[in-house]
Amino acid sequence: MEEAPTCSLAQALSSLSALREQNLRLRADCAALHEAQGGLRAESLRLAEQARALSRDNAELRDLCCFLDDDRQRGRRLAREWQKFGRHTARVMKQEVGLRCGECYCEDIVVGLSCFETLLCHCLHQSFTGHN
């Protein structure tokens, strides 16, 4: 059998003291790591909640954009219908006026109706594009 290395009592006590100091430092480091881990866990939970809130906000904004786009398309369709109505009305009025009055008076009415149609289209365009 091999003999265990022998050392003096002073060397053994010195080694024991050094090992105890190292043990205390390691325990302090371990406690600091646990504390840091708890902080990171709390930060992770906070960020996860923030991500959920941002995801909800994003979904609401997406829905709002879809609604506004649908509304914009409805407005454009309505403006086209008003234009058609205005052109049709001007045509009908021109025919009616042409049957009932002389050429000079009829031209004034047709010009007036055309101006009205242009003004109506311009106003509708401004109201749907948001310009005043």
pLDDT in tens, 40-82: 999 999 999 999 999 999 999 999 999 999 999 999 999 899 8
Contacts of 124 (CB under 8 A, 6+ apart): 78, 79, 82, 83
Task: State mean pLDDT over 35-42.
Answer: 92
Name the pTM for this structure. 0.47
Residue 87 has pLDDT above 80, yes or no: yes
pLDDT at residue 3 is higher than 70: no
Angle at 83 between CA 114 and CA 107, to 5 degrees: 15
d(CA 98, CA 90): 12
